[in-house]
Amino acid sequence: MRYSRLTWEHFSNASSAGVLTGTDVARAAAGSAADGTWVQFDIRAKRRGFAAALIIEARFQAFGCPHTIAVADWLAGRAAGRSAELRLPEPVGALQQLFGMPVEKLGRLFVLEDAWVGAVQALLKKQENA
């Protein structure tokens, strides 16, 4: 399979891979290695009064194809400075086109979305209880 330049760049140099630690970190995972796609996101953010929390940094771990790892890296890498919202920064269809993913891999993007939204939910709940 041929990969787009963006996919190859993020797959071969996944600079946002890793984990975050600390009591201010929220984490969520989705999928399973047995099913071929597993993704975990760790998010650290700060409160901004009544406004949405501002993401300071994000990291990911993933098991999956190059597209899965590339999109996870792209999402985590672009997170800093964004509001913590219960949605991906870009719709699934836009990510599919941006990374040149074939239609048969669309389900992997939904796994990424589940992990991302889960991490943001955990973050917001953690901040609500603080």
> Mind listing the pLDDT tens digit for each residue in 66-77?
999 999 999 999
User: Domain locations in the chain?
Assistant: 5-129
pLDDT in the model for residue 50: 67
CATH number of 5-129: 3.90.1010.10
According to the model, what pLDDT value does residue 70 have?
A: 98
Query: What is the residue whose two structure tokens read 């969520």?
Result: 28
Q: Give residue 128's pLDDT band: very low, low, confident or very high (50, 70, 90).
A: confident
pLDDT digits (tens, 9 = 90+) for 59-112: 999 999 999 999 999 999 999 999 999 999 999 999 999 999 999 999 999 999
What is the predicted pLDDT for the residue at 1? 82
Alpha helices by DSSP H, 13-52 = none
Q: Is the pLDDT of residue 51 over 80?
A: no
DSSP assigned state of 130: -
Q: How far apart are CA 118 and CA 57, in angstroms?
A: 16
37 bridge partner residues? 32
What is the edge-to-edge ordering of all strands in the sheet holding 51-63?
A: 25-32, 37-48, 51-63
